[in-house]
Chain A
Amino acid sequence: MLSTTDHTADHIVCAEDLVFSHGERNILDGLSLTIARGTVTVIMGPSGCGKSTFLGLLGGRLQPASGALRFDGKPVPRTPGPDLFRMRRKMGMLFQNSALLTDLSVHDNVAFPIREQTSLPEELIRILVLMKLEMVGLRGARDMMPSQLSGGMMRRVALSRAIALDPVMIMYDEPFVGLDPVSMGVILRLIRSLNDALGLTSVVVTHDVSEGCSIADQVYLMDNGRIAGNGTAEEMLGSKDPWIRQFMQGHADGPVRYHHPAGDYLEEIRGG
């Protein structure tokens, strides 16, 4: 089912048998996947299955207990500081809650990575920032502070900040949560058009099936810290596998685990 040990150059991310745990619980438990250059890859799975954790590993913020993870041909885990920072300059990341720097204006937020990583003159930075903001339609909001923005606007600002340094790959953590239908459509179109216009690779982590499928070149389904299925959106939607079918169609009954691991219900109620 999976083409795991595929270290060819057209795969920008190769994860093999990743294990990651918090305390005794294995959050990721033998996760393997590959992400092809230039595609939009959507990773879907129930809430709490470890999607954000995977992005943490991919960005080098978390360390796996075992397994291999390569980005652009180089191993990520336990890379020393300067090399890791060099690697991160090729990544953009959109956090689940935007993570804008609250003491800086919209313009300065987008300018932040440019100012930190380059020594371009201020006039050039201003033009670059305006270009990035224009792409997300927020050139007019450049002087506002993050606290004056709505959630959808913040996400678009965070998106233009993530592409400020023209990364090779961009990671989106739950980009669709809490958006109205219009903003949702805007973000969806942005992800797709940025990917194609800038030649990026996009990794979208979400639990919104229909939105995820509408932009995906490739879909991975995650369950219990490992990959439960992969393929194109059509393949996934037409799958015969009971777990995949239930997740994709959102039925209440079936093999998808909804409860956090726990002891026996009756016993706990009786006070055993």
Chain B
Amino acid sequence: MARSAIIIRRATILKKFGAVRMEPIMKLGQWTIGFTCGLGGACVFLVVALRGAARSLLRPMLIVQQLYATGVLTMLIILVSGLFVGLVLGLQGYYQLVSFSAESSLGMVVALFLVRELGPVLSALLFAGRAGSALTAEIGLMKATEQLAAMEMMAVDPMERIIGPRLVAGIISMPLLAAMFSAVGVLGGYLVAHVQFGVDPGMFWSSIENGVDLIDDILNGVIKSLVFGFVVVWIALYEGHRSVPTSEGVSRATTRTVVASSLAVLGGDYMLTAIMFGGF
């Protein structure tokens, strides 16, 4: 209905302005309307999903199952990626620091990078690609094969049985995954520093101890990953829930999940960093 209204409006505008090319402006307008509608829908969905999530807290077994599916199964890719990121940080950090003879602070540099930025952001991006896309595809297929409708007909609320536990599990597992990412990354940095370049282990660890603050760095990092986890699961569940119930619709929704949640994580990281470390 909204679409036909837009088309009618387009026709009248075209008549009014005749030869003037209005296409790009109308495209922009259409995109804005579509985006606003999507955002509104997502917010309504969130309210219902949060209510379902609250009720699903009474059924911990459902949440545990989802913790396994979203959290545990994502662990491997998080650990491997964290290790490599840490190794690279160690290398790059050492090359830069050694020219100032400051390689003793390598531990602090690696740890700060990981805890403040790379841990929460990269693990959220990996989480979106691994768990978010799976969530969207799962919900979308459940919708396409009428499983959600069948549940409703069995007087079972899919928001409580399906959506809620997944939302809770995503929010719980994201900070844990980010913490693992950072921990393994620091280990990777240590491997490079000590084994490859012979930096003194005591210096490496004490620089971390002195340089990393519990509130400023670690707590802020945890808050970031909580927010990212929430946003990624929200987008994934919403896209799955509103997907067109066909194979093409589900595949599009999966793509949208990965794109939208990656953008949201990166954009959100800028804003959170500005608020947390910019002294607003």
Q: Is the CB of A117 within 8 A of B155?
A: yes
Contact of A61 among B147, B152, B154, B161 (CB under 8 A): B152
From B146, B147, B149, B154, name the one whose CB has the most chain A CB atoms within 10 angstroms: B154
Interface presence of B156 (CB below 8 A): yes
* Count class of interface residues, chain A: 20 to 34
From A97, A99, A101, name the one whose CB has the most chain B CB atoms within 10 angstroms: A99
Give the residues in chain B near A95, CB-CB below 8 Å.
Answer: 146, 149-150
Interface presence of A119 (CB below 8 A): no
B-binding segment of A11-19, A65-73, A81-89, A229-237: A81-89
Give the residues in chain B near A85, CB-CB below 8 Å.
Answer: 155, 157
Give the residues in chain B near A161, CB-CB below 8 Å.
Answer: 154
Interface presence of A219 (CB below 8 A): no
Q: Is the CB of A102 within 8 A of B145?
A: yes
Q: Is the CB of A112 within 8 A of B146?
A: no
Q: Is the CB of B153 within 8 A of A116?
A: no
Q: Is the CB of A88 within 8 A of B152?
A: yes
Q: Is the CB of B153 within 8 A of A91?
A: yes
Q: Is the CB of A96 within 8 A of B153?
A: no
Q: Is the CB of B150 within 8 A of A116?
A: no
B interface SS class: helix
CB closest residue in chain A, given B150? A99
Q: Is the CB of A99 within 8 A of B149?
A: yes
- What's the minimum C-beta distance from A135 to chain B, rounded to whole angstroms? 18
CB closest residue in chain A, given B138? A103
Q: Is the CB of B149 within 8 A of A61?
A: yes
| In the A-B complex, the 4 residue pairs with the closest CB atoms | A99-B150, A99-B146, A85-B155, A88-B155
Contact of B161 among A23, A89, A92, A116 (CB under 8 A): A116
Q: Is the CB of B147 within 8 A of A101?
A: yes
Q: Is the CB of A99 within 8 A of B147?
A: yes
30 inter-chain pairs at a CB distance below 8 angstroms, sorted by A residue, are A23-B1, A23-B4, A59-B152, A59-B153, A61-B153, A81-B157, A85-B155, A86-B155, A91-B153, A92-B153, A93-B150, A95-B146, A95-B150, A96-B146, A97-B146, A99-B145, A99-B146, A99-B147, A99-B149, A99-B150, A100-B147, A101-B151, A102-B147, A112-B154, A113-B155, A113-B156, A116-B161, A117-B154, A117-B155, A161-B154
- What's the minimum C-beta distance from A183 to chain B, rounded to whole angstroms? 20
Give the residues in chain B near A81, CB-CB below 8 Å.
Answer: 157
- What's the minimum C-beta distance from B71 to chain A, rounded to whole angstroms? 17
Q: How far is the CA of A117 from the CA of B153 in the complex (A)?
A: 12
- What's the minimum C-beta distance from A71 to chain B, rounded to whole angstroms? 13
Q: How far is the CA of A112 from the CA of B149 in the complex (A)?
A: 14
Question: What per-residue 1/0 map shows which CB atoms of B134-168 lie under 8 Å from chain A?
Answer: 00000001000111011111111100010000000
CB closest residue in chain A, given B146? A99
- What's the minimum C-beta distance from B136 to chain A, rounded to whole angstroms? 16
- What's the minimum C-beta distance from B228 to chain A, rounded to whole angstroms? 27
Chain B residues 1-54 with CB under 8 Å of chain A are 1, 4
Contact of A93 among B141, B147, B153, B157 (CB under 8 A): B153
Give the residues in chain A near B146, CB-CB below 8 Å.
Answer: 95-97, 99
Give the residues in chain B near A99, CB-CB below 8 Å.
Answer: 145-147, 149-150
**Known pairs A99-B147, A99-B149; A116 contacts B154 (CB<8 A):** yes
- What's the minimum C-beta distance from B84 to chain A, rounded to whole angstroms? 33
- What's the minimum C-beta distance from A83 to chain B, rounded to whole angstroms? 11
CB closest residue in chain A, given B153? A93
Q: How far is the CA of A86 from the CA of B157 in the complex (A)?
A: 12
Q: How far is the CA of A112 from the CA of B162 in the complex (A)?
A: 13
CB closest residue in chain A, given B162? A101
